[in-house]
Copies of this chain bind each other. A is one copy, B any other.
Amino acid sequence: MEFKEKLAAFVARIDSAIDKITPAKNARPARIHEAMRYSLSAGGKRIRPALVLASSELFESGVDALPAAVAVECLHTYTLIHDDLPAMDDSKLRRGVDTCHIRFDEATAILAGDALQTLAFELLATRYARDPKLAVELISTLSNTAGSQKLIGGQMEDILGESRSLSESELEFIHLNKTSALIEASLRMGAAIGGANGNQRQLISEYGRCIGLGFQIMDDILDATSDSQTMGKTVGADTAANKTTYVSVHGLQESRNRLAALTERACEICDSLAASFLKQLAGYLNDRTH
């Protein structure tokens, strides 16, 4: 199967599982479930849950990775809902549609985000209860990644750093924790479900850091070089806001070199794991224009 067909097949399975295993729209109280489902289906590219599935399929346990993929998407969606709030990034649009607090209201958006985080852990605990050791490993990985020293810590430093220029190490802390950590965790969770051995897990983690950091560098390159029409959002926003980016710290050429090196290493790892989908994905993320 071609890469794009394979990705579309993953996305279809994820969308269907989200519909099936999250509370119904009319479950009481309806408003919170409408809001949760609204944000879950508001145009996400499903990269993280696809990584859970793709990683699990490299190995042979036969355990279903879909509930974990949905849990990761719930966790990711909760962080987006809260990041968009007026007290945080104050975003009215995301992926071209109203953000949760615009479509509903702020209180509902706060609670819907809270509930999506809870749901992520509930899905892992209940859907993997037959293999409690695996369930505990998945919950440990996701909670450690989502916590105050990684994902939330990255968002905190990003907000604190908005009004001033950042050092190289501050920028790296934010990139590694705000974006890369959950990408790496998605891959590690898939590998755990698939039954990967220690060496395979290490390689999968390294691949995750390569594409996670690469993804962030590509974002900064696109913001500095693309035009608004291609991106579907305001570009040059980082420069205009005097925001420290990979490009502002390292320059455009060095950023491109670093991205190429990260992609090369990611592809090497994929060769050693016979992971053709993940290899194509690394190229895909690298080649994107928005």
Contact = CB atoms under 8 A, between A and B. Distances in A.
Nearest to A173: B28
A155 B115 CA distance: 11
Contacts of A110: 82, 85, 87-88, 110
Contact of A122 (B115, B118, B144): B144
A74 to B, nearest CB: 11
Nearest to A82: B110
Contact of A125 (B33, B113, B143): B143
A107 B125 contact: no
A146 B118 contact: yes
Nearest to A89: B107
Nearest to A119: B147
Interface residues of A, number: 53
A232 to B, nearest CB: 26
A171 B183 CA distance: 43
Contacts of A121: 121, 139, 143
Contacts of A157: 28-29
Interface of A: 23, 27-29, 31-33, 36, 78, 82, 85, 87-88, 105-108, 110-115, 117-119, 121-122, 124-126, 128-129, 132-133, 135-136, 139-140, 143-144, 146-149, 152-153, 155-157, 159-160, 173
5 contacts: A23-B149, A78-B114, A119-B143, A122-B144, A135-B139
The 3 closest A-B pairs by CB, nearest first: A87-B106, A122-B143, A115-B148
